[in-house]
A = this chain, B = another copy of it.
Amino acid sequence: MGKKVRGGRLPGFRLRGRIWIEGPDGTFLGYGRVVLLERIRDYGSISAAARSMSMSYRHAWRLVESMNRQGRYPVVEKRTGGRGGGGAVLTETGRHAIASFWKAYHEFREYMLERSAHLDL
């Protein structure tokens, strides 16, 4: 009655995955980008956001550029100069993008959790 000779489940193995939103020019939104957007929202500047997640400013800036360029509307509005040197704030589009991504993301986590259960190896 043992179905197969193979020793059964491999304990340490699990199904993993990731999702992202792709635009005309490659990735538009992914986990890292969304976290970056949230930090920008919380800290009010790209550089502070980058520092807070130990990412280089240059990299963070490029990510924001990529997101802003792809959509019809920018996700981040940037101001140079002025009090405190300037800063950056989320647009309504940006806030909406974050919400959309998290929604898809959490549904996906749910799915993966459920699906991992009947993974037979």
Binding site for B on A (CB under 8 A): 4-7, 10, 12-24, 28, 71-73, 92-93, 96-97, 100, 104, 107-108, 111-112, 115, 119-121
Residue of B5, B10, B15, B92 near A6 (CB, 8 A) is B92
Q: Is the CB of A12 within 8 A of B23?
A: yes
A115–B55 CA distance with the chains assembled, in angstroms: 31
Q: Which residue of B lies closest to A19 (CB)?
A: B17
Shortest CB-to-CB span from A30 to chain B, Å, is 10
Residue of B10, B115, B119 near A72 (CB, 8 A) is B10
Shortest CB-to-CB span from A24 to chain B, Å, is 5
Shortest CB-to-CB span from A101 to chain B, Å, is 9
A13–B100 CA distance with the chains assembled, in angstroms: 13
Question: Which residues of B have CB within 8 Å of A5?
Answer: 92
Q: Is the CB of B73 within 8 A of A17?
A: no
